[in-house]
Structure 1
Amino acid sequence: MPVTSLYFLPASSPDSNPTQDILAKLTSCYDPSLLPPWTLSHRIFRETPSTQPSAQPAPALTNGVNKAKPPAPRFLQILNLSYLAPQTYVAITSTHAASQTRAGTPASSNTSAEAASGEPAAIVSIPAGPTSEEFIQLIVSKFGPLWQQRQILSAGHGHAFEIGDFRVRVGELRQGGSGGGQMGRGAVCEVAWIGVEAEQEKESWEAGETMVKGFWEGLALRGAREVYWVPGLGDGEGTVRQWCELLKPK
């Protein structure tokens, strides 16, 4: 399986276009071969306060101050990726643990796809199309007291390239429903090193991470949030976990 990292480069102003910035860097630095376009759609629901534990033991006081932190909210995410069709993926995750981040470029936050309160997300798949639409309507209409919809994100007609041993996907991330009034959020980019096939030794994996990191740093695009691959996960499962972590509110 390829060694992959995802990047989210936010728009710095209403007039900025991070997607075009990435594409301009790719075409000026390389001679990319076009691959079929791709799409993404993502809905996220936040656990309502009423579903969180209410009966908690009395917290210990430190110098008379309550140091206990409220429980982290869970998120229900519904993800569609055209290159993982024909499935829709449903994941329930929570906010990531700061102890599982790693240092990166300035103004970036680099996170493992498994950094979710120390526990992996629960992920199930359902058929895409009418079945997934019925599921979304069920969550919205019947489970409103449990899950509050936070945002709808999409990337339509994304660009994809093969550049040597790398596969790169770039898309403009927009927030809002299909009815109009969408707002640009920035660009998402997937960089995968495809130079080594499925069974990889530790040294090859570490080499792949170095290659992917070097490729992105070579584009000299600052301020991106990164979610990196976790070894040991299947290709589809790992991809879903990465995207859910990248698109989850921070």
Structure 2
Amino acid sequence: MTHTGVFFIPSSPNAPNILGPLTERLRSVYGDEAIPIGRWGLEHKLMRDTPSCLPASAHAPNPAPRARYVQFLSMTNHPKLGFVYASEDDEQTQPSPPTAATEAGMGKTESGMIMSAVPIASSSEIFRHFVRCCEPIWCHRHTVTVTGTVYDVGDFRVRLGEVRQTQPQARPRGTIMEIEWRGPSMIAAALAPVSSSLGHDGQNRDVLAMDVDGDIDAAMETPYIPTEAEIQLEYEQMSNLIREFWTKIYNQNDSTNKQLPATTREAILIPDVGRETKQRISQRRQPGWQERENRRRRKRREAIALDRSWGGFSEKQQQQQDDEDEDVDAGVDLARQYMELFRFNR
């Protein structure tokens, strides 16, 4: 889990592409601290339901139907996952009696959109299904791609890239900067999985001490679980820190910054940000969570041992798969931020 902020600068006739000036500004402000470490990219596809041919008055006394969207996003920093962001069903917007799901914070979302992280192959197949079988109901509005460079700047990781629309027609859209905080985080520490690491001899060593029954030692239980107020406070503090970092680069009051246009859009504390993180931490507050987690991990170790005895994955490969399962929701907040910016009110 990381804290991120995304800033989008739309292109204009006077400044069609400001990736170069923005990169120079980053290097001039932070100098040798801005270390390029590689390339990155993403692709965003937007689908919208076909608008009604009837005027809004034809739906009276009921309100006119609202536009509904399905968005698909893939990122190189999460190469095995595809993110699908879809409008909620209208029936879910109606009041309903409280259930166990709503009490756990899984009811109606603030944004009216539902986020799902699926394998990248499944995401591609869902998009092809919409285009091939649902074209009369849903239409493909546009596809946007981003390519750029990744920089490490102290405790921050910065991704700078050019935004280009490839469908329905090729055209520049602007420049985007993603700022990721990689420093200390109380939320990340609370969500750290009980994983294993390699020792000096190359063997897997459990990070937390295990007794003979495979249970976690009581002296080394999970770290402090923050409250709802502490979680919200950290999100606000990190958003201020990210915005301050951005202001140092993109400051219109600076006389050396005249090449950069004044129009910019940001996505930091958008609706539903941190939704999955808060749900996972809420589960850890429930009584008996530690015992259930111990049983789950013990059964998984038994399954790993049985699979290895039959020539299956090695323990190291199984551990890598286990770590990936733990981080399945790692990029959902970042995906929300990109999708809020790339919808372009279409």
The interval holding the TM-score normalised by the smaller chain is 0.7 to 0.9
CA distance in 2, matches of 1:72, 1:181: 26
| Residue matched to 1:97 | none
| Residue matched to 2:117 | 125
Residues 117, 332 of structure 2: 8 Å contact kept: no
* CA RMSD of superposed structures (Å): 3.0
- 1:164 is aligned to 2:154: yes
Aligned in 2, Cα 1:16/1:137: closer, same or farther, shift over 3 Å? same
| Residue matched to 2:20 | 20
CA distance in 2, matches of 1:140, 1:73: 18
- Point out the structure with the larger helix share: 2
Q: Point out which structure has higher relative CO (alpha carbons under 8 A, 6+ apart).
A: 1
TM-score, scaled to structure 2 = 0.56
Aligned in 2, Cα 1:10/1:119: closer, same or farther, shift over 3 Å? closer
- 1:58 is aligned to 2:50: no
Aligned in 2, Cα 1:139/1:203: closer, same or farther, shift over 3 Å? closer
Count of aligned pairs between the two proteins = 216
> Percent same amino acid at aligned positions?
28
CA distance in 1, matches of 2:183, 2:111: 30
CA distance in 2, matches of 1:184, 1:227: 20
3-state SS of 1:223 partner: coil
| Residue matched to 1:237 | 332
Shift of 1:171: 1.0
**1:40 corresponds to which of 36, 39, 42:** 42
CA distance in 2, matches of 1:155, 1:51: 34
Shift of 1:80: 0.6
Residues 83, 123 of structure 2: 8 Å contact kept: no
TM-score, scaled to structure 1 = 0.75
Q: Which runs of 5+ in 2 are unaligned?
A: 89-107, 191-225, 252-259, 278-329
Residues 48, 145 of structure 1: 8 Å contact kept: yes
CA distance in 1, matches of 2:158, 2:87: 27
3-state SS of 1:49 partner: coil
- Point out the structure with the larger strand share: 1
Aligned in 2, Cα 1:122/1:37: closer, same or farther, shift over 3 Å? same
3-state SS of 1:215 partner: helix
| Residue matched to 1:213 | 243
| Residue matched to 1:225 | 265
**1:153 corresponds to which of 144, 150, 156:** 144
| Counterpart amino acid of residue 247 in structure 2 | E
Shift of 1:3: 2.2
Aligned in 2, Cα 1:78/1:58: closer, same or farther, shift over 3 Å? same
Residues 51, 146 of structure 1: 8 Å contact kept: no
**2:177 corresponds to which of 189, 192, 196:** 189
Aligned in 2, Cα 1:184/1:119: closer, same or farther, shift over 3 Å? closer
CA distance in 2, matches of 1:205, 1:181: 38
